[in-house]
Amino acid sequence: MTVFDAADFDNHHRLAFFTDPAAGLRAIIAIHRLRNGIAGGGIRMWPYDSDEAAIADALRLSRAMSYKFALADLPVGGGKTVVIGDSRRDKNEDLLRALGRAIDSLGGCYICGPDVGTTPEDMVVIGRETDHARGRPGESGDTSPATGFGVYHAIRAAAGHELGNDDLRGVRVAVQGAGAVGRALCRHLCDAGAEILIADIDPAAAAADFGASVVSPDEILAAEAEVLAPCALGAVLNDRTIPAIRAKIVCGGANNQLAEERHGAALAERGVLYVPDYVANAGGAINAVAEGADYDEAAALARTARIYDTCRRVFEKAEAEGIASSLAADRLAEEIIDG
């Protein structure tokens, strides 16, 4: 099978492979679409089980970035970098600078930022080799607070649509993952008076900070709650987990939550309102695109809050056309991209 036959290949503009044996670099950069000659997306470093898994992730994530930017009304296309390796063990200055040179060789058509396994500080090192790194400290920096803020507004929109009230006071939200995004979301949920359940490898600090109840990672997806918020890694919504979900709403910050596209329809068939991840978690991308010498945090967050309105458009289209919300979001994004 060739890349062109891969299930996740969507007529991508470019799929580039980069190696630097001396630096230990093995990276894939996928560009799904260019808009105004540019694509943007984060750098994910992960110890993939196979090269095929890394390619699939790059293809899926870059496509999601195109859709994310389109629905957020941002004038760039989607891209993604995946670096094969364990960020805790394999990441070093030589590898990051080699990656910076790889990005620079694309001539400015791809703008990178931090993602899973990379940090704002890493963007400083990458930026020594290219002018096309964003998300450094002192610029927009950590995008997690904006991402969590956007997910919070997406949950409000879903609650208004499904529960009849976007006031989250007393609403039980099961948060899977207490990383940077999960914690940012929990802060807003706590301030809104929501009841929080949380699952993480080390949930104690988050539970104490937000008055959350701790649930085991094995039980969180089936927790008794109005909202399930996946904020860890992807593919958690699948044939095994979907039948066990009790929540009326699924809305979280993780990327690629659906193991396969058909699982969006599977959630709809069970009467679960799913907020497509690339709609809910667009706040970080909105914040990153806004950065620069004239970066205005308040303006970026105000734009992020409009995710609420985007969600309502998705729900309305899904109902009008009798389709799953995941497909409705895809169609809205494609109309923008193709228009």
For residue 46, give the CATH number of its domain.
3.40.50.10860
In a domain, 13, yes or no: yes
Amino acid letter, 275:
V
Same structural domain for residues 108 and 243? no
In a domain, 131, yes or no: no
Same structural domain for residues 83 and 216? no
Domain-terminating residue out of 126, 154, 183: 126
How many DSSP H helices and E strands does the chain contain? 12, 11
Same structural domain for residues 250 and 311? yes
- Return d(Cα 230, Cα 247) in angstroms, integer: 12
pTM of the model: 0.90
In a domain, 45, yes or no: yes
> What's residue 116's pLDDT?
87
Q: How many domains are contained in the chain?
A: 2
Q: How far is CA 207 from the centre of its chain?
A: 23
Backbone angles phi, psi at 111, to 5 degrees: -110, 130
Write the CA distances from 136 to 99, 116, 121, 139, integer angstroms: 16, 15, 6, 6
> What's residue 1's pLDDT?
54
State the CATH number of the domain containing residue 252. Answer: 3.40.50.720
Expressed as residue numbers, the domain containing 240 is 144-338
- Return d(Cα 170, Cα 165) in angstroms, integer: 11
First-to-last alpha carbon distance for the chain, in angstroms, is 32
In a domain, 134, yes or no: no
Same structural domain for residues 101 and 179? no
Same structural domain for residues 179 and 272? yes
Owner of token pair 């006031």: 167
Amino acid letter, 331:
R
Same structural domain for residues 9 and 120? yes
What letters, b where the CB count within 10 A reaches 16 and e where it falls short, cover 149-169? bbbbbbbbbbbbbbbeebebe
Domain-terminating residue out of 96, 126, 156: 126
> What's residue 234's pLDDT?
85
Instruction: Give pairs for 116-122: CB < 8 Å, separation 24+.
Output: 116/42, 116/44, 116/45, 116/46, 116/233, 117/43, 117/44, 117/45, 117/46, 117/83, 117/87, 117/91, 118/42, 118/43, 118/44, 118/45, 118/83, 118/87, 118/91, 122/43, 122/91, 122/96
Is 68 annotated as catalytic? Answer: no
Backbone angles phi, psi at 15, to 5 degrees: -135, 115
Domain-terminating residue out of 126, 153, 173: 126
Whether the CB-CB separation of 152 and 249 falls below 8 Å is answered with: no
Same structural domain for residues 213 and 115? no
In a domain, 297, yes or no: yes
Same structural domain for residues 122 and 157? no
- Return d(Cα 73, Cα 36) in angstroms, integer: 13
Backbone angles phi, psi at 261, to 5 degrees: -60, -35
Ranges of residues in the chain with a pLDDT under 50 are none
- Return d(Cα 96, Cα 227) in angstroms, integer: 38
Q: Which residue stretches of the chain are H helix?
A: 51-71, 93-104, 120-126, 144-162, 180-192, 204-210, 262-269, 277-280, 283-290, 297-305, 307-321, 325-338
Same structural domain for residues 149 and 99? no
Same structural domain for residues 201 and 148? yes
In a domain, 137, yes or no: no
Same structural domain for residues 46 and 173? no
> What's residue 6's pLDDT?
81
Beta-sheet pairing, 25-31 with 77-84: antiparallel
Chain mean pLDDT for the chain: 94
- Return d(Cα 109, Cα 36) in angstroms, integer: 9
Same structural domain for residues 326 and 213? yes
In a domain, 78, yes or no: yes
In a domain, 330, yes or no: yes
* Residues whose CB is less than 8 angstroms from the CB of residue 326 and which lie 6 or more positions away in sequence, other chains included: 258, 261, 264, 265, 267, 268, 274, 276
> What's residue 44's pLDDT?
96
Angle between helices 325-338 and 307-321 (to 10 degrees): 110
Whether the CB-CB separation of 237 and 244 falls below 8 Å is answered with: no
> What's residue 138's pLDDT?
73
Q: Catalytic residue among 68, 80, 248, 317, which?
A: 80
